[in-house]
Structure 1
Amino acid sequence: MSGGLRATARIVATRDGLALLSGEGPLAPRRTRAADGGFRVTLVGAMSAPLGGDRLAVEIEVRAGARLTVDAAAATVALPGRGGGAAHYDVRLTVAAGATLRWLPGPLVSAAGSLLFLRTTAELAEDARLMLREELVLGRYGEPTGTVTSRLSARYAGVALLDQETSFGPGAPEGWDGGAVLGGHRAVGQLLCVEPGFAHDPVPVQPLGDTAVLVPLAGPAALATAVAADGLRLRHALDSADAALRRVRSGR
């Protein structure tokens, strides 16, 4: 459907600094202080988005040897537009050899009546590192969820690490809220960690409470998945996964 907002944020990090930092409309990237070295950018929502019909994009490139963290000042809320139709949010991540990216956006809340397609694509060179967090909250407090479809694809040195699609809400495949998927929970998320050392020394399977687990992937990566009653409990579960990954890396 035409007529929606079009906006793109672009970030390029090098060893020496941020070579590019630009945003449009609701996507306002701001340089902020990094706590652990490297560079940090925080995405600030300058207006309500995405609405039905909007097309938003975030493009991040981390060049050889650079370290970058990108996070968000607040949650993103997908809302229905006046004319209906779907909103699209595309995230494209490119990480060069020897570079590190931590992509840690805030939760994405699927408000009642909204329809959103979220696509995240990560392309990593050999010896690149990535920490990627995704959090979906299905409905605001006291309301039903909208419909959200998330596609996550990650490649390392040209080889696929992960390519998955999930869909929740009205119109999603039957059973999305059943015991084999959400089991009645209202928040779902994942934490993808790409670490070259995991190729020859994979992360062991680790339950993280009753509704979260950390598993190795084929290749130099591990994936934590979790469901929870709300966004706060989901963040706690994914923080536990992050801590477990830190312990694994520090012990090698």
Structure 2
Amino acid sequence: MSVRATARITAALDGRGVTSLPVLAGDGPLALRRTRTTGSGARVTVVGAMSAPLGGDRLTIVTRVGEGARLTVDSAAATVALPGEGREPATYDTELSVGERAELRWLPEQLVSAHGSVLHMTTRVRLAPTARLVLREEQILGRHAETTGTLVSRLTVHRAGRPLIDQQLAYGPGAPGGWDGAAVLGGHRAVGQLLFVEPTFDEKCPEARLLGDTAVLTPLAGPAVLVTALAAEARRLRGVLDEALNELLDAPAG
């Protein structure tokens, strides 16, 4: 039997200048926990309460970060997409909204596409002009010694009502030909990206450059950069993205 579940997070600044969580509502396999952090921001960890997503499941996380609030969302473990009893694909939708002078760091663990699974992931983000965003996505194509399932992932970000990025990636059976060839994955099975939106980049944005042999930093048409990386396995992928994020966070303001 398929599962339909929607989890909701709302972060807001209280009268003391501290981020509170007036809405923290898990649902089905999406359990939410407020976890310890430093400073005036808040942190929420998504804890998988059951195996999901399976074929036919419909999962959604809706997150709102109000004006001036600071929120980090991570997860307790990797998410594993598994085949279900039916033929329907699973869907996992993420809807994020970040207000004026607010900051969201969306840093889940990896998504593992198990053999035989079919998952469609959609992430939609709406940013105010002065909002800041760090968004990391990591996909592991197949568990150890198995081929990947089918994974279709779309990321759409609007800033100040205008499109900042809109891209779709597809891997596995049924994906357009060449996805596993030398021009795309080149034998790698860990793929990830890091989107960094920083309003001060309006003045000076980092220049495009290679980050090692299989990663690249690309400035976008807006105050943002996208880091795209490949690796042989999850640990190496995380290392590349973490190093890039640390460099971006340490970069002088424009």
Instruction: Give the distance between the partners of 2:52 and 2:112, measured in 1 at CA.
Output: 11
Q: How far 1:222 sits from its partner (Å)?
A: 0.6
Identity percentage of aligned residues? 59
Q: 1:46 is matched with which residue: 35, 45, 49? A: 49
Partner SS for 2:167:
strand
Q: Distance in 1 between matches of 2:157 and 2:86?
A: 34
CA deviation after TM superposition for structure 1 residue 215, in Å: 1.4
Output the amino acid matched with 2:7.
A
**1:28-67 equivalent positions in 2, closer than 5 A:** 28-67=31-70
RMSD: 1.0
Report if the CA contact (8 A) 1:208-1:240 is conserved.
no
Residues 36 and 208 of structure 1: is their aligned pair in 2 closer, same or farther, counting only changes over 3 Å? Answer: farther
SS in 2 for 1:244: helix
Q: Distance in 2 between matches of 1:136 and 1:244?
A: 22
State the partner residue of 2:166: 163
Aligned: 1:109 with 2:107: no
Question: What residue in structure 2 maps to residue 236 of structure 1?
Answer: 239
The equivalent of 1:210 in structure 2 is: 213
> Could you tell me the TM-score, scaled by structure 1's length?
0.97
Count of residues paired in the alignment: 249
SS in 1 for 2:148: coil
Aligned counterparts of 1:208 and 1:247: Cα–Cα separation in 2: 16
Cα distance in structure 2, aligned partners of 1:56 and 1:19: 22
CA drift of 1:205 comes to 1.5
Please report the TM-score for the alignment, with normalisation by the length of structure 2. 0.96
Residues 164-219 of structure 1, C-alpha deviation per residue, up to 9 Å, x if partnerless? 00000011000001111101100100000111111221111232111011111001
Residue 12 of structure 1 aligns with which residue?
10
Matching of residues 141-156 of structure 1 within 5 Å: 141-156=144-159
Contact 1:14 1:64 in 2 (8 A): yes
Post-superposition shift, 1:251?
5.4
| Equivalent of 1:129 in 127, 132, 138 | 132
- The answer as to 2:182 corresponding to 1:184 is no
Q: Counterparts of 1:217 and 1:108 in 2: how far apart (Å)?
A: 25
Q: Distance in 2 between matches of 1:37 and 1:116?
A: 36
- Alignment match, 2:89: 86
CA drift of 1:246 comes to: 1.4
- CA distance in 1 between partners of 2:109 and 2:177 (Å): 28
Residue 99 of structure 1, CA deviation: 0.4
Unaligned 5+ residue runs, structure 2? 15-19
Q: Counterparts of 1:96 and 1:153 in 2: how far apart (Å)?
A: 17
1:240 Cα deviation after fit: 1.3
Q: CA deviation at 1:243?
A: 1.3
